[in-house]
Amino acid sequence: MPLLATFPTLAAGILALTALAGCGARPAPAPAVGMANPASVYCAQRGGTLKIVRGPEGERGMCHLPEGTVVEEWELFRRDHPQR
């Protein structure tokens, strides 16, 4: 078989292998942002401990402050950081 006759077959085979090479690749998982919840950080800065409470509406973070007060973390954050 002459070289010129095998070229289309060889080219088609290389093209098929190249196309199939990408089929098994999985995309890399998205990296975590790494930004902390500002309300949780503020609770800790106040000396509080955060407890997650599950309820019918979902999960809420409750901040237990050193003086014994328990307040929802975002309520505490918004109370002490009002909008301008």
> pLDDT (tens digit, 9 = 90+) per residue, 10-65?
666 676 666 666 666 677 777 777 889 999 999 999 999 999 999 999 999 999 99
pLDDT of residue 77: 98
Lowest mean pLDDT among 2-6, 67-71, 77-81: 2-6
| Rg of the Cα atoms in the chain | 30
Whole-angstrom distance, CA of residue 29 vs CA of residue 38: 25
Extended strands (E) in the chain: 49-55, 58-64, 70-72
Give the residue with greater pLDDT, 81 vs 23.
81
**In angstroms, how far is the first alpha carbon of the chain from the final one?**
83
